[in-house]
Amino acid sequence: MKQGAQGSAGTGGVERDVDLAVGAVRVPPQMRASDAARVRAEAGSGVRGEHTHSEVPIPRPVVQRASVRGQILDALRTALVTGELLPGEVYSAPALGERFGVSATPVREAMQQLALEGAVEVVPNRGFRVVERGARELAELAEVRALIEVPVVLRLARSVPVERWAELRPVAEASVRAASSGCRATYADADRTFHRAVLSLSGNEQLVQIASDLHRRSQWPLVGASAARGRADLIADAAEHTALLDALVARDLDVVRLLVGGHFAGRS
């Protein structure tokens, strides 16, 4: 600081002013006062935009709100899969917020996302109604999924190295364990993980995303508790994962075609 003060004597204090304000900006002795003022203004504007030691950056609330919304969205999706949120029933954001111990805002935002996905529909001044789905819609979803996934898996069966299929063994076995638990939500996650792992070998992220969205929709329960899939159904479905993987490792295309073609018949 002393050097800056001594070096400014020949400029009428101009350089000293800039040195004290900016610290790193030096004004040559031959610079005119008007030019020095311009440098001071430009450098000073940059300094004012920086944090000082007394200005501690505070995380924006939107980051935390997005995190809460994501957690609520996951919880609502689980409630949909397990049938805890009943088809045809209307749920208000404040009531659900109280149930989850949060404000109505993240619940409302999560419900809006579910509305975009087709899981619920907005009921003005009341809340959100869980969409009622029948066997026909489930069959249509299965048909669309088959049109997308079957040809992709058959193509991958001819091109993906055997060792890559073998790497998916833990994923298939995890789906079997999840099915054995009898928890629909647990198996739903494991089921989607297996299908996503298989389709990811295509390298087509758009295809993986579209197939995953359709898969999630196919896991929503039908109208009526009797339509819910039991533990035996989940185990049978997961067994097809391991059987398919065995056929892919063995490069048995006939069995692959049979398994992947029948996997979507009334199942997720």
Q: Provide the number of structural domains found in the chain.
A: 3
Q: Which domain holds residue 15?
A: 2-48
Q: Indicate if 92 and 203 belong to the same structural domain.
A: no
Q: Indicate if 160 and 242 belong to the same structural domain.
A: yes
pLDDT tens figures, 136-181? 888 899 999 999 999 999 999 999 999 999 999 999 999 999 999 9
Which of 130, 146, 163 is the C-terminal boundary of a domain? Answer: 130
CA distances from residue 149 to 33, 64, 104, 206, 213 in whole angstroms, order as listed: 73, 37, 38, 13, 13
Residue 53 domain flag: no
Q: Lowest mean pLDDT of 41-45, 85-89, 107-111, 252-256, name the range.
A: 41-45
- Distance CA(38)–CA(138), nearest Å, equals 70
Which of 130, 151, 181 is the C-terminal boundary of a domain? Answer: 130
Residue 223 domain flag: yes
Q: Indicate if 142 and 92 belong to the same structural domain.
A: no
Residue 54 domain flag: no
Q: Indicate if 117 and 181 belong to the same structural domain.
A: no
Q: How many CB atoms lie within 10 A of CB 234?
A: 26
Residue 55 domain flag: no
b/e map 171-205, b = 16+ CB within 10 Å = bbbbbbebbeeebbbbbbbbbbbbbebbbebbeee
Q: Indicate if 98 and 185 belong to the same structural domain.
A: no
Identify the pLDDT of residue 133: 85
Q: Using CA atoms in the order 150, 154, 155, 157, what is the torsion angle rounded to 10 degrees?
A: 140
Residue 37 domain flag: yes
E strand or H helix at 138, and its extent? helix 135-159
Q: Indicate if 204 and 88 belong to the same structural domain.
A: no
Which of 107, 130, 153 is the C-terminal boundary of a domain? Answer: 130
Q: Average pLDDT for residues 120-141, to the nearest whole number? A: 91
CATH of the domain at 108: 1.10.10.10
pTM of the model: 0.69
> Per-residue pLDDT for 51 more than 60?
no
Residue 243 domain flag: yes
> Per-residue pLDDT for 254 more than 70?
yes
Q: Lowest mean pLDDT of 10-14, 182-186, 192-196, name the range.
A: 10-14
Q: Indicate if 157 and 209 belong to the same structural domain.
A: yes
Identify the pLDDT of residue 131: 92
pLDDT tens figures, 213-224? 999 998 887 766
Identify the pLDDT of residue 19: 39
Q: Indicate if 115 and 218 belong to the same structural domain.
A: no
> Per-residue pLDDT for 50 more than 80?
no
Residue 56 domain flag: no
Q: Indicate if 75 and 106 belong to the same structural domain.
A: yes
- Burial (CB < 10 A; 0-12, 13-18, 19+), residue 53, is exposed
What is the band of 69 on the pLDDT scale with cuts at 50, 70, 90?
confident
What's the CA angle centered on 157, arms 156 and 161, to 5 degrees? Answer: 85
Percent of the chain's residues with pLDDT above 90: 57
Q: Average pLDDT for residues 112-130, to the nearest whole number? A: 93
Residue 161 domain flag: yes
Q: Indicate if 253 and 179 belong to the same structural domain.
A: yes
- Distance CA(221)–CA(215), nearest Å, equals 12
Q: Indicate if 231 and 170 belong to the same structural domain.
A: yes
CATH of the domain at 144: 1.20.120.530
Q: How many CB atoms lie within 10 A of CB 33?
A: 11
Mean of pLDDT over the chain: 79
- Distance CA(161)–CA(243), nearest Å, equals 18
Q: Indicate if 139 and 255 belong to the same structural domain.
A: yes
